[in-house]
Structure 1
Amino acid sequence: MWRVLLLVLAAGLLFGGPAWGASGCLRCHEGIKKIAENPVMGRLSCVFCHRGNPEGRTKEEAHQGLWSNPSDLRVVDQTCGQCHGEIVTRLKKSLHATSAGIISAARYTWGAQKTRRALYAPYPVRDEDGHIPGQRGALPELQALPLYDPQRPIGPTNHPVDDYLRAECLRCHIWTRGKERPGDYRSSGCAACHVIYADDGLYRGEDPTIPKDEPGHPRLHRITTRIPVFQCQHCHNRGGRTGVSYMGMMESDGYCSPWSGKAGVKAGRKLHGKCYNHLVPDIHYERGLACIDCHLEPEIHGDGNIYSKKDEAVEIECEDCHGTVKSPAPLRTSRGTSYPNLKRKGSRVILIGKLDGREHPVPQVQEVVQRNRQAAVAMEIPSHARKLECYACHAVWAPQCYGCHAQQNLAEKAGDWLRYGKSADESLTGREKNRLKTAHHWRETRSYLRWESPALGWNAEGKVAPYIPGCQVIFTQIGPDGKPRFLNHIFKTAQGTWGIASNPIQPHTVRPRARSCEDCHANPKALGLGTGLYRADWNGVPFPYGLDQIVTPEGRPIQAVSHDGARPFNGKELRRILRVNICASCHGFMRDPEFWKKVVDRNGRAPDDATHRKVLRHLLRDSVR
């Protein structure tokens, strides 16, 4: 970095030089904010990042060779990479750049590939650093996603799912600027996160050359590491929907209620192309924590490896900060990464907010169980501590979008999020308006939405976690002649399950008061058995179950799960979980686990329901004698 700074000094390109002063860029851009205040970046000239010609007498002359977004991944090696080369190298291999989880999940559930592992990315990427930890799921390379040609037979390298990804899903990766509409405005490359955009995409600065009423500009000409939640939300509003869920937002059915004060006009505000219901937010958001307060730099920029799924890239766990019943918080991840904003202050754990600088006390599980015996009963059950994610109980709701009906129209062309026309400004290549129309037109509808009592099952880490639909695609393809080639078709996976999917997730909807015992042990929906109320086949979908059912009562998986190692409960597990509810009906009032340990030690445990009923009959007869 200091070598680069010396080069900058030698070139006379520092703040205060000709590129910045009255004879340079500020002749037109007077009032624009400096890009940063820190000692290095705060002194860089405009042209060090943006290039151009500060001595130009006209706009055309001054902007010759200009890069509007110097952090775009097409040019970043010559800009941000000069000082932050190691981070840029990692970033290009990160899930933010590869979207490998979205691509691999969609292709697996549509039957386009046999493996759940990632094979493709928006653009080819290879890990050349010689360190590929396969035990963590790391991959050596990803190929470019294939194009779909409807004139050729469907197969692993020619499948409509790739067209779907190109036309719809892949707007959220940092090679592109994404959709340019309320809630989705952002930049590409490093600036996708580090330059803040308002939801309306309007500029709030003092540069007279930037229109204040033209959406598509950052709030200010400013780069920052203090990234607010709504910035992350510009991308994290589909798929797992964790960005909007964290703030307590769940998309509505599209009515955009309530009414406004004007006759016939709705008051609902659309973001990300959707209207929202507002539910209870995650307790961490409610207490003032941003995404960056928990998520670590190697998770966001990547740790240098190519991964298939988020669970492989994400290091953090609830226990890192909150500890367990038996041990205090380690304040580091299982991979050894420390939390820079966590510290011990006497007997307390304190988190320093990265946005507000405030001290946030972090409750410790050991303290909670001492104060709350009911919580202690749940947390001190050995199988709970060993087998459940904390958020299996504490995520009290999760977004559930059932039945994604996707229609492809081969008679109409649409923009491809991976292919762009040539742009005079290379750094703006990834804008929506520059997309080539090499994909086909798609429309989406859905069957219904829910948020209550998400299903549970095993995640890829071998723990029980919430499951949500993701993604339950029911495919229709309309040919150039206007006739359907596929009608409400569901693909099958290589494992033989239906291609509509439900997957484990951390919903980011944590509350201090957890789901009740009955909501897991007595609720068929929570166990993946569905409500029994919705009949997909009666609604024109060739699926002989409810869309909220992921497993049969015998434990046979029905829906696809696109994470290696994740699965619904099997038959034996379902019977045991349900049996606990029968026990809880009588034993629930006895909140002392030590008491029940003595009972079991003295009398043993009934090995089956028949023996248990025999004991109950004996007790009841004794009670009336």
Structure 2
Amino acid sequence: MLCLSPEIVASLLRCLPAVLLIVAVTACSPASSESESCLVCHHALEPASASHSGCISCHYTFRDNAYKKRAQGHNPSAADSWDQGCGTCHQYQLGRVKSGLMYSNRGMIRNIQLTWEGETSGEYGAHGGDTFDERGNRQKLLPVAELDNLSGELYRKFCSRCHLGIEIADAERSNHAGGCATCHFPFNESATYMGKDAVIKGKTPASASHRLEPLPSAAVCSQCHNRSGRIALSYLGLYDGNNGHVPTRNGQSGPVQLSGNRNAVHIEPDVHAAAGMECIDCHTSRDVMGDGYSYRNMYRQVEISCEDCHGGAKPPVYRAIAFDGDEAVRESRSYPRQMRPGMNMVLTSNGRSFSNVFVSDAKVRVIGKRSGKLFTAKVITGTAEHTVKGHERLECFACHSRTVVQCYGCHTTYDLRETAMDFIKGKETPGAFSETEDFRMLYPFPLAVNQRGRISPVTPGCQTFVTEIDGTGATVRDDQITRFRGKRQLRFAPFYSHNTGKKAVGCRECHANPRFLGFGQGVMTVGSIEGTLLCEKCPDKSLDGFLKLADGRVRAFSAITRENSRPLNEAEIRRIFRANLCITCHDKGRDKDRIYERGLNYGALDDALHCRILNGR
């Protein structure tokens, strides 16, 4: 029998409330039955997952003593507490997300500044913080809350609604939680819990279910990626064009209602979507969550390209998994089919392994990360239509994009007489934005030289006309075009629309239609192309183009953003048009017509065969 001295007994009695609290909390820890007390009320609540079966381990920590806050529905993955929530177990993933562009929005903020303010100093992030640049050097991002100009206001009051750190529950088909839950505990259209727990059923804002989704669906991606470039809409086969609320169905806007008082019509989906592939079947976790480095633009963080799976000048590159700790093995544990040592994993453009793309039986295979479906990627290396002389610089999607969303003339007004929510500061402040656009189209789309030195589609990025009204109602700026690279000019940006088709744009169409080359819609005469969709602020320049042809000379009047990007030059335009001499008859770059394997010999038009053809004999 244990005998305690009177002093020890008195000490224990004085500490009894604290002891009881420790016992009560310990009873809710994973080691003991942590769910029992929570499940008295929430007995029908879905377990988050097999590895997240408890309650207190996620919704309570001793470190911040926030039981009441978290137990009442607080999101433990929210950016203001994810270090004590998800980050306690997932430090590797959290470190990547904090540096990634979905959280920092560094590229978005920088490009808004270039569009609205011209060249500015300082690198800003949604919340600032210390990080590493792409070369591994330490870098400090300034918080966008300190960006005291119109571009800072625009990001905080407009663009930041899709920022990973913000919860949105008032946007049709665009609702999302904040933090990790943005992707892994998706909201439905009404941001309402519709699971089995009667206590919280119908509560909002809340995820549709308490079940964790380790692999987000394409529908989750589309909750944010349905504005600006609208890549999720294009991928799924939706288009919110110039129709406003037309067409309608049963008196309601239709057929698909979107956030921002928009509706969408159906177009052909991307060929990958039509086959049953989701966004994450192509995109790696490093594309989406980041890799720990802070990049200036999204194209730098995205590590994949079409050639990775389909080949280009060379076939796809692969390497064998050597050990169990390989990242492809670790990541694939939640897939229906896991990768294992010995499998030949295809490498991304950055030289890192996919976790679901491998070579088997001399074919490139892709496993659907959620569906488990097995897809075969056709390798096009060496095929006649992909070895056309002069096409070496073409991006795959320069020919295979079916549509490219182009929004021309974005007129944005900032009015200091009104107030609007600043989503970063979390309060209403003076100044509200409104916008209208002139025209939107899908096809044809202009081509230019992108940041990789290759020819790709471009889209307005952005054609912003800024109007600013001060607190007295005076117009400070009136539809002003901001300065870019030293002069007032509109700009276009290299862009992949995510609406790919098997059939490419025809040779005749691309080489003979000036709209593909950047001249916009216009009237052609000998030696000139006159634009017809003219800008009121620049009446001598077309809104939907960036090149002019006058007296046989080509001149650019709008910029292509991104470093090393530019419009096609006069020599390139001449070569493209000259090819029409041959395309008139040789309009297929296939096996039966091999003239495009070498440089075109226009002298051949003088031989007997071509003379007879040209003379109509």
TM-score bucket of the superposed structures, by smaller chain: 0.7 to 0.9
Are 1:271 and 2:258 matched, yes or no? yes
Aligned match of 1:490: 481
Q: Distance in 1 between matches of 2:413 and 2:545?
A: 24
Instruction: Give the match for residue 73 of structure 1.
Output: 79
- Would the aligned equivalents of 2:169 and 2:190 in 1 still touch at CA under 8 Å? no
| 1:561-612 residue CA offsets vs partner (Å, 9 max, x unmatched) | 3311222211111111121123211333685588537997xxx834xxxx78
2:494 to 492, 504, 509: 504
Give the CA deviation at 1:73: 1.7
Q: 1:455 aligns with which of 446, 449, 467?
A: 446
Which deviates further from its counterpart, 215-224 or 401-410?
215-224
1:322 aligns with 2:310: yes
- The answer to whether 1:313 aligns with 2:320 is no
Alignment of 1:377-456 (within 5 A): 377-384=384-391, 386-420=392-426, 436-456=427-447
Match of 1:426 in 2: none
Q: 2:457 aligns with which of 466, 473, 477?
A: 466
Alpha-carbon spacing, 1:617–1:94, altered in 2? closer, same or farther (3 Å): same
Which runs of structure 2 are paired with 1:210-359 in the superposition (5 Å)? 210-212=200-202, 214-262=203-251, 265-273=252-260, 274-324=262-312, 326-328=314-316, 330=318, 331-359=346-374
In 1, Cα distance between the equivalents of 2:313 and 2:91? 42
What code does the residue aligned with 1:41 have? H
How much identity, in percent, do the aligned residues show? Answer: 28
Deviations 1:344-379 (A, max 9, x none): 33233221111111212222215xx7xxxxxx4431
CA distance in 1, matches of 2:544, 2:113: 21
Work out whether 1:207 is the aligned partner of 2:197.
yes
Distance 1:226 1:472, change over 3 A: same
Verify: 1:31 aligned to 2:50, yes or no.
no
1:9-46 per-position Cα deviation (integer Å, ceiling 9, x unaligned): x955445845411xx11222221101112xx323xx21
- The answer (yes or no) to whether the contact 1:139–1:305 under 8 Å persists in 2 is no
Distance change (3 Å), C-alpha of 1:123 and 1:562: farther
2:59 to 50, 62, 78: 50
Cα distance in 2 between the residues matched to 1:439 and 1:171: 18
Q: Is the 8 A contact 1:52 1:63 kept in 2?
A: no
What is the Cα deviation at residue 281 of structure 1?
A: 0.5
Aligned-partner residue type, residue 510 of structure 1? T
Q: Is the 8 A contact 2:401 2:499 kept in 1?
A: yes
1:239 and 1:470 in contact (8 A); partners too:
no
Q: Is contact 1:33–1:221 with CA below 8 Å preserved after alignment?
A: yes
User: Which string of whole-angstrom CA distances, capped at 9 and with x for unpartnered residues, describes residues 455-503 of structure 1?
Assistant: 11111111111111222111112232333221111112134251x3211
- Superposition deviation, residue 123 in structure 1: 1.6
- Counterpart of 2:171 in structure 1 is 181
For 1:589 and 1:269, the matched residues in 2 are separated by 39
Query: Residue in 2 aligned with 1:580?
Result: 579
1:577 counterpart letter in structure 2:
I
- Give me the TM-score of the superposition, normalised by structure 2: 0.82
1:31-75 deviation per Cα after TM superposition (whole angstroms, max 9, x unaligned):
1101112xx323xx212111289xxxxxx9955775611111221
Q: Is the 8 A contact 1:163 1:439 kept in 2?
A: no
Q: 1:317 to 1:61 in 2, by over 3 A?
A: closer
Shift of 1:393: 0.6
Deviation for aligned residue 1:453: 1.3
CA distance in structure 2 between the partners assigned to 1:536 and 1:275 by the alignment: 25
Superposition deviation, residue 276 in structure 1: 0.8
Structure 2 Cα separation of the partners of residues 613 and 61 of structure 1:
83
The 1:29/1:622 distance shift into structure 2, 3 A limit, reads: closer
Residue identity matched to 1:404: C
1:571 is aligned with what amino acid?
A: E
**Root-mean-square deviation (Å):** 3.1
Match of residue 360 from structure 1: 375
Q: Which amino acid aligns with 2:259?
A: H
What per-residue deviation string (whole Å, max 9, x for no partner) do you get for residues 299-323 of structure 1?
2111111111111111111111112
Distance 1:598 1:480 in 2: 65
Task: Say whether 1:546 aligns with 2:538.
Answer: no
Aligned partners of 1:598 and 1:393: how far apart in 2?
Answer: 18
Q: What is the TM-score with the length of structure 1 in the denominator?
A: 0.81
Counterparts of 2:476 and 2:158 in 1: how far apart (Å)? 20
Whether the aligned pair in 1 keeps the contact of 2:408 and 2:440 (CA below 8 Å) is yes
Give the match for residue 41 of structure 1: 52
Asked if the contact 1:459/1:567 (under 8 Å) is kept, the reply is yes
Query: What SS is found at the alignment partner of 1:304?
Result: coil
**Structure with greater Cα Rg:** 2
> Post-superposition shift, 1:559?
2.4
SS in 1 for 2:514: coil
Cα deviation code 1:396-422 (max 9, x no counterpart): 1111111111011110111112102xx
For 1:152-167, list aligned pairs within 5 A. 158-167=148-157
**Aligned partners of 1:282 and 1:52: how far apart in 2?**
45
Match of 2:611 in 1: 619
Residues 101-120 of structure 1 mapped to structure 2, 5 A cutoff: 101-113=107-119, 119-120=123-124
Is the alpha carbon distance of 1:536 and 1:624 closer, same or farther for their aligned partners in structure 2, counting shifts above 3 Å?
closer
Aligned equivalents of 1:321, 1:416: Cα separation in 2 = 43
5+ residue gaps, structure 1:
1-9, 54-59, 148-156, 370-375, 421-435
Secondary structure of the structure 1 residue equivalent to 2:517: coil
**What SS does the corresponding residue of 2:548 show, helix, strand or coil?**
coil
- Report the equivalent of 2:106: 100
Could you list the per-position Cα deviations for residues 289-343 of structure 1 after superposition, in whole angstroms to 9, with x for gaps in the alignment?
1111111111211111111111111111111111236524541113221111122
- Structure having greater relative contact order (Cα 8 Å, sep ≥ 6): 1
- In structure 2, C-alpha distance between the alignment counterparts of 1:247 and 1:528, rounded to whole Å: 27
Structure showing the higher strand proportion among its residues = 2
Q: Is the 8 A contact 1:201 1:217 kept in 2?
A: yes
* CA distance, structure 2, for counterparts of residue 78 and residue 272 of structure 1: 33
Quick one: distance in 2 between partners of 1:323 and 1:622? 39
In the aligned structure 1, how far is the partner of 2:561 from the partner of 2:351? 28
Moved over 3 A (4+): 10-19, 60-67, 265-269, 533-537, 539-544, 553-557, 589-595, 597-600, 611-618, 620-625
Aligned residue pair count: 553
SS at match of 2:413: strand
Letter in 2 for 1:32: L
More moved, 171-180 vs 564-573? 171-180
Q: Is the 8 A contact 1:319 1:329 kept in 2?
A: no
Of residues 102, 105, 126, the one that matches 2:130 is 126
Would you say the 8 A contact 2:508–2:587 is kept in 1?
no
Query: Does the Cα contact within 8 Å between 2:451 and 2:562 map onto a contact in 1?
Result: yes
SS at match of 1:586: coil
- Cα deviations by residue, 1:181-221 (Å, 9 ceiling, x for unpaired): 21111111111111122223232201122242x55321100
